[in-house]
Amino acid sequence: MMLLTVGLAGAQLAWTVEMAFGTPYLLSLGLSKQSTSLVWLAGPLSGLLVQPVVGAISDSSSSPYRRRQFILLSTLLILTSTLFVAYAREIAQLLAGLTGLGDWDPKTEESVAAWAVVIGVSGFWVLDFGLNGLQASLRALILDRTPPHQQPTANAWHGRQTHLGNILGYSFGYLNLGRSPLLSWVGGGQFRKLAVVACCVMAVTVGVTCVTQTEEVRVGAGGGEGVGKRLRAVVKGVRDSLRDLPLPVRRVCYVQVFSWTAWFPFLFYSTTYISEILRSSLPPTSPPPSSDEATRAGSLALLLYALVALAAGSILPLLSTLGRREWVDRWVSRSSRKGRAMRRVMAGLSPRNWWTVGLGVYAMGMVATFWVRDVRGAMWVVAGLGVPWAITCWVPFALVMESIRTLQLEQQSRAPPPPSHQPRYHDYSTPSTPTRASATRPLVPPQPFRATTSTSTAPSPTTARSNAQSALNECSPLLPGPRSPAFPAQGEEEREGQGAEAGGTILGIHNLSIVAPQFLVALISAGIFKLLELGRSAPSSSFLASLADPSTFAAAEPEATATNDVVWVLRFGGLAAAMGCVVSRWVLETPSERAYKEWVLREPDEDEYEGEEGSEGSVVEV
């Protein structure tokens, strides 16, 4: 299972480099802040276009490399585009020289700057498309190669590799790679060396996955339908499902719109926020920090944020299942006043309520930026947001997956499963490797409520920008549906696939509710940056006219200027989180939450009363 999923760690590392360090690098090339926000429109566009296209084409392929060929093609695009971005200035100088401009020509510098911006922006767009293709192909390969009873294990490994990629990316970003003798041959500064390291790690991890996995040749895959017909069927299915979307999923999608409107500004601009706080906190007589130093400070904050998210993603799901632990049921009284109060608290620690808490914590973190004046305070704010990020990467996916599971069970109860061809799966379990419950322990938060004991984690950092992914990714392992008295364990009924297509369409619609806010955030961020710039320079000029001005796409201020415009974009995200906090209270209670609450708060029967009275010390009145 590790070899099957290790490619995700490399993909997440590449995405982390783009997400955390892309904005500072574009600013260093001379792009203005409002223009950088428009550059990141590549994320939602690629997410909407690439994933369904790659899925439809690879599904209809009968090649023995039907998933891996897209994995390799996407990896090649990522490697090429990343190197083009990292060497944008050198390539721009080469192109300027080919046009006949000499070093002595005053137009040379302008031409180099213009070419560098074009190469950098184009490279990031290609990188976004490649990352979406790679992530979609890797997930499809995992789904193809994993038998149904080991899907929870695959989800857990998905989360492990995603977190590993996040932590590696932020750790490499914090290290002073610019002075590393091992990378002196690369040249350039921190971003270039980080990009080269990310390319090497991604190439190795993806290569391991492709070499160690085999795929079944599926003759007549896709039912003889062309790719265009399959894509039209996908669009029609999404349109029909939007009308018939289950109410619980619909309300989750409403909250996701507000949630990701809040998260995208943070994922795009958190590093820039720390950098600007660092510059503004220095005395006027102090020399400004270099771009690499400021970026490394932002990387340290994001590393702390990723570690906090990892810890929170392991602890919070355990708190949500605390009432099912045998020792809790044995030591917390059901009859005493204190015991009942404690049980009411445990019953209230449901995923739905955690989501509300997470959005509230995010909003309060953005309010705290009004009082932050130094880097230490900014790092505390960024690190603390790891808790709501872990919740965002856990709760909505768990709620949606439970709704899908409910739909599948209803379909199975209405009709017997038809005989179907079973693809050959590889059984990744061994006598020493438990499956199902125990295998889901480490990093992806387990099912919200289940009777077994387990431990767990979150994405990601993560996403975001595709992933935003996640991240958009960082941000997006799909958790298995909960099992409780209301939800029987998965068994042989999983062979039938009536609910699979509906489930895939629902997941696609849920993904739309994550991706769509990125368009809004990009436009609003550009407007906020331009308004702040106009407020400092020419308040009488027209805002709409200024957007049409070509100078909009040039940096309006030197790189080291200590203005912190980014914080206002983050505060806009805090406002969206506050609205999402209110809307989240309309999310419907799931059957597993209801069953868990009834279990925790059930009244003791006569035997329990007699047991508490007859055995001293057997029950502690908490």
- State if pTM tops 0.75: no
Q: Which of 7, 159, 151, 152 is nearest to 70 (CA)?
A: 7
pLDDT in tens, 290-333: 777 888 888 899 999 989 988 888 888 888 877 676 766 666 66
Question: Which carries the bigger pLDDT value, residue 329 or residue 285?
Answer: 285
Residue 96 lies in a domain: yes
Distance, in Å, from the CA atom of 96 to the CA atom of 94, rounded to the nearest integer, reads: 5
Query: Residue 51: which pLDDT band, with cuts at 50, 70 and 90?
Result: confident
CA angle 7, 508, 223 (to 5 degrees): 85
* Distances in whole angstroms, Cα of residue 283 to Cα of each of 16, 107, 118, 271, 287: 32, 36, 36, 21, 9
Q: Which of 567, 577, 402, 363 is nearest to 499 (CA)?
A: 402
Residue 583 lies in a domain: yes
Spell 60-94 as b/e; 16+ CB within 10 A means b: bbeeeebbbbbbbebbebbbebbbbbbbbbebbbe
Distance, in Å, from the CA atom of 261 to the CA atom of 47, rounded to the nearest integer, reads: 16
User: Residue 622: its pLDDT value, please?
Assistant: 39
Q: Please state the rounded mean pLDDT for residues 593-618.
A: 59
351-368 and 566-583 are packed helices; what angle lies between their axes, rounded to 10 degrees? 150
Distance, in Å, from the CA atom of 83 to the CA atom of 102, rounded to the nearest integer, reads: 25
Q: What is the DSSP string of 140-195?
A: HHHHHHS-GGGHHHHHHHHHHHHHHHHHHHHHHHHS-GGG-GGGTTT-S-HHHHHH
Greatest CA separation for the chain: 97
Residue 104 lies in a domain: yes
Residue 469 sits at φ, ψ, to 5 deg, of -75, 105
Domain extent at residue 157: 2-213+229-414+435-483+560-606
pLDDT in tens, 477-508: 333 333 333 333 334 333 344 444 455 567 76
Q: Which two tokens stand for residue 510?
A: 């849920």
Split into its structural domains, the chain has a count of 1
Q: Which of 361, 60, 394, 53 is nearest to 222 (CA)?
A: 60
Inform me whether the pLDDT recorded for 550 exceeds 50.
no
- Mean pLDDT for the chain? 74
User: Residue 334: its pLDDT value, please?
Assistant: 66
Distance, in Å, from the CA atom of 439 to the CA atom of 455, rounded to the nearest integer, reads: 10
User: Residue 127: its pLDDT value, please?
Assistant: 92
**CATH number (domain holding residue 30):** 1.20.1250.20
pLDDT in tens, 412-468: 776 555 555 455 555 555 444 443 333 333 333 333 333 333 333 333 333 333 333
Residue 528 lies in a domain: no
Q: Which of 505, 506, 444, 499 is nearest to 477 (CA)?
A: 444
| Amino acid making up residue 471 | A
Residue 43 lies in a domain: yes
| CB-CB neighbours of 274 under 10 Å | 26
Query: Residue 611: which pLDDT band, with cuts at 50, 70 and 90?
Result: very low
User: Residue 199: its pLDDT value, please?
Assistant: 93
User: Residue 74: its pLDDT value, please?
Assistant: 92
User: Residue 361: its pLDDT value, please?
Assistant: 96
Distance, in Å, from the CA atom of 285 to the CA atom of 288, rounded to the nearest integer, reads: 9
pLDDT in tens, 22-32: 888 888 888 88
Residue 205 lies in a domain: yes
Q: Is the separation of the CB atoms in 131 and 414 below 8 Å? A: no
Residue 428 lies in a domain: no
Question: Which carries the bigger pLDDT value, residue 434 or residue 203?
Answer: 203
Question: Which carries the bigger pLDDT value, residue 372 or residue 463?
Answer: 372
pLDDT in tens, 185-201: 888 888 899 999 999 99
Q: Which two tokens stand for residue 108?
A: 């040379």
pLDDT in tens, 204-263: 999 998 888 887 766 655 555 566 676 677 667 667 767 778 888 889 999 999 999 999
Q: Which of the residue ranges 160-164, 313-317, 357-361 would you say has the lowest mean pLDDT?
A: 160-164
Q: Which of 334, 341, 386 is nearest to 361 (CA)?
A: 386
Residue 427 lies in a domain: no
User: Residue 445: its pLDDT value, please?
Assistant: 36
Query: Residue 551: which pLDDT band, with cuts at 50, 70 and 90?
Result: very low
Rg of the chain, C-alpha, whole Å:
26
DSSP 8-state assignment for residue 588: P
